[in-house]
Amino acid sequence: MTDPSKLPYAAVLLDIEGTTTPISFVHEVLFPYVQNHARAFIEARWDDPACRPYLTNLQAQSEADQHQGLQDIPRVADLDDATLPTSTKINSLVANLEYQICHDRKIKALKDFQGYMWEVGYRSGELKSIVYPDVVDALKQWKSLGKPVYIYSSGSVPAQKLIFAYSDQGDLTPYLAGYYDTAVGSKLATASYRTIQQTTGVPAKEFLFISDNVKEIDAARAAGFPTAVAQRPGNAPLPATVAADPIYTVISDFHALLD
């Protein structure tokens, strides 16, 4: 295993879940928030023009799923069918959302709707995200050293911004230079990291990527990034081969990377 202090880097790319933020926050707070409040949320905003595009996108995704033969996913009713009761449409949306959340689908329509609900929750004070204190220390030092920090998560960019704007450590967005989601590609695809490198202009060999997911780490390494595997409380145990392999750097907190 490589010594974290020996990693050279001029910029940082961070995963969120299991890296900057406990996995439990996502699975025990954010996901249940949508599941528990989706029905009341949709009912209250059924005629709200701001909400309608999110519901329409869920219907479009449902139709695409049906065309692909994914019959197990509850189908969203035709939201424009005037003959259907509103309750039927809402019931279908809620059932569809519950299935997608339970199966942790990485689908844009779902991520966008979740982000919309979370924004309302954050702004109302119902939600506050958790960011590890050592992450804050690192963000502050990297900012002072002129090392830009970017986020790359499967959650939508708006949802990422909310996590760092409404954290238990305060508003951390001033420490972040940019955000990326799966619009640039899968986090398991090497091409995604090359795209991020090209758009930021940071040389790959100087662009440190930190994630709890070894498959993501491998994809970034293949793109030439130095990497560190985050092993946080509650994360899945790392394979013994990873801990023993000198090509991997494993950290339990970000202090190991600081000067």
User: What tens digit of pLDDT does each residue of 40-76 get?
Assistant: 999 999 999 999 999 999 999 999 999 999 999 999 9
Three-state SS at 20:
coil
The 10s digit of each residue's pLDDT in 212-244 is 999 999 999 999 999 999 999 999 999 888 888
Domain boundaries, the chain: 4-21+129-257, 27-124
| Topology at the third CATH level for domain 27-124 | 1.10.720
Rounded average pLDDT over 154-170 = 94
- What is residue 4's predicted lDDT score, i.e. its pLDDT? 67
Q: Which residues contact 162 (CB under 8 A, 6 or more apart)?
A: 115, 118, 119, 122, 129
Q: Indicate whether this model's pTM tops 0.85.
A: yes
**Architecture of 4-21+129-257 per CATH?**
3-Layer(aba) Sandwich (3.40)
On the question of a common fold for 4-21+129-257 and 27-124, the answer reads no
